[in-house]
């Protein structure tokens, strides 16, 4: 007996005997395929917590649920199945359970060729280092975010020291440092003996992910003719926010942190970057508020062994938006 070209369903030949038995099997198979298409088209996918793509590993922090609109029950891909490795060109799919009578757990499967089946439901496919979900959202390597939503943006913002306000005591006034070979920066020199502090500020964007907090680092240049020789510097941070009608001063204890740059052997005009501090969620951190970032050098710390003034051009902060 003949078969449909794509679905593979049997149907009766013109002179088939018995004709009606084959016809019933064909109608039943066609009914299953049409129902599967209708259910898949209206399937609701939710959950997943934070989904992260670090090629080749896809991971998620909460169960992924596929809810059938016709039964109200859900198929669950639990966190226990995370992470799953997906090679370039492979797809991630599940085998749907039709006509659910209750919630059930399904297994996510990786394949190079999706089965031609009523129950194979593709979730994502990898092309190069990008993972594309079935709604078209793409996660580049290293990105994370909500399932079937745009990935979160890890953003870095540079805050030049020439825009920072003095605290008591503040460092040397803003000056221009020009390298004989070309290149120049606006800097402030922090003393090698006494602690000096400034306060930078920036408005928190409306799409900030508060729970992700922030972290920061100090960027500078050797401004003194006597550069460090296996020596270091130490900077402290304080982070808090103030909103409309609030005092500029913190309402409690700010988020405190520090960075150090040790073992430096550099010459005048050479740049230095600290690592990012551990970071966290600043005091009263919220969208639309003014973020205050207090930072200063503490030459009394044992790790600050460079006894000369050092030029700072600003700080770089890292936070998450989405």
Separation in Å, CA 213 to CA 105, 139, 182, 238, 288:
34, 22, 37, 13, 15
- The CATH code of the domain that includes 218 is 2.60.120.260
- Shared-domain flag, residues 243 and 279: yes
Comparing 12-26, 130-144, 288-302, the range with the smallest average pLDDT is 12-26
Which one, of 134, 117, 72, 122, lies nearest residue 94 by Cα?
Answer: 122
In a domain, 296, yes or no: yes
- Shared-domain flag, residues 143 and 178: no
- Shared-domain flag, residues 180 and 138: no
- Shared-domain flag, residues 259 and 115: no
- What's the start-to-end Cα distance of the chain, in Å? 56
DSSP code, position 295 = E
- Shared-domain flag, residues 89 and 126: yes
- Shared-domain flag, residues 140 and 234: no
Say yes or no to pLDDT of 9 above 80: no
pLDDT tier at 8, thresholds 50, 70, 90: low
- Shared-domain flag, residues 308 and 240: yes
In sequence order, which residues have a C-beta less than 8 Å from that of residue 19 and are 6 or more positions away?
Answer: 12
Comparing 94-108, 164-178, 229-243, 299-313, the range with the smallest average pLDDT is 94-108
- Shared-domain flag, residues 107 and 203: no
For position 35, what pLDDT does the model report?
76
Comparing 135-144, 219-228, 235-244, 269-278, the range with the smallest average pLDDT is 135-144
For position 282, what pLDDT does the model report?
98
Range of the domain at 119: 44-151
pLDDT tier at 34, thresholds 50, 70, 90: confident
In sequence order, which residues have a C-beta less than 8 Å from that of residue 318 and are 6 or more positions away?
Answer: 154, 155, 156, 214, 215, 216, 276, 279
pLDDT tier at 239, thresholds 50, 70, 90: very high
Say yes or no to pLDDT of 39 above 90: no
In a domain, 237, yes or no: yes
For position 4, what pLDDT does the model report?
65
In a domain, 20, yes or no: no
Comparing 21-30, 164-173, 212-221, 271-280, the range with the smallest average pLDDT is 21-30
Looking up tokens 């169960």 gives 63
If one counts every other C-beta atom within 10 angstroms of the C-beta of residue 217, the result is: 20
Comparing 94-98, 146-150, 186-190, the range with the smallest average pLDDT is 146-150
Of 119, 151, 183, which marks where a domain is finished?
Answer: 151
Looking up tokens 């190069």 gives 128
For position 59, what pLDDT does the model report?
96
- Shared-domain flag, residues 161 and 241: yes
In a domain, 13, yes or no: no
Contact between residue 185 and residue 179 where contact means Cβ atoms under 8 Å apart: no
């Amino acid at each position: 007996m003949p078969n449909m070209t794509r679905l593979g369903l049997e149907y009766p030949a013109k002179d088939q005997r018995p004709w009606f038995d084959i016809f019933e099997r064909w109608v039943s198979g066609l009914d299953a395929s049409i129902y599967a298409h209708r259910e898949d088209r209206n399937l609701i996918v939710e959950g997943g917590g934070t989904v992260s793509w670090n090629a080749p590993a896809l991971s998620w922090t909460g169960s992924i649920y596929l809810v059938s609109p016709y039964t109200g029950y859900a198929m669950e891909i639990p966190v226990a199945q995370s992470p799953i490795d997906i090679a370039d060109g492979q797809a991630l799919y599940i085998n749907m359970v039709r006509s659910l009578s209750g919630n059930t757990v399904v297994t996510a499967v990786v394949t190079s060729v999706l089965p031609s089946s009523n129950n194979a439901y593709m979730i994502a496919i990898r092309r190069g280092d990008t993972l594309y979900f079935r709604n078209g959202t793409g996660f580049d390597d290293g990105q994370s975010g909500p399932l079937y939503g745009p990935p979160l943006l890890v953003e870095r913002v540079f805050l030049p020291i020439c825009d920072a306000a003095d605290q008591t005591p503040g460092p040397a006034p803003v000056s221009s440092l020009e390298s004989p070979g070309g290149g120049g920066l606006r800097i402030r020199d922090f003393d090698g003996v006494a602690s000096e502090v400034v306060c930078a500020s920036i408005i928190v964007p409306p799409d900030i992910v508060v729970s992700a907090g922030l972290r920061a680092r100090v960027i500078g240049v050797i401004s003194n003719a006597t550069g460090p020789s296996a020596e270091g510097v130490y900077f402290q941070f304080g982070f808090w926010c103030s909103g409309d009608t609030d005092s500029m001063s913190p309402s409690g204890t700010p988020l405190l942190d520090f960075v150090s740059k040790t073992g430096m052997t550099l010459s005048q005009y050479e740049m230095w970057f600290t690592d990012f501090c551990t970071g966290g969620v600043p005091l009263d951190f919220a969208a639309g508020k003014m973020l205050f970032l207090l930072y200063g050098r503490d030459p009394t710390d044992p790790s600050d062994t460079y006894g000369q003034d050092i030029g700072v051009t600003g700080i770089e902060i890292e936070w998450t938006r989405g």
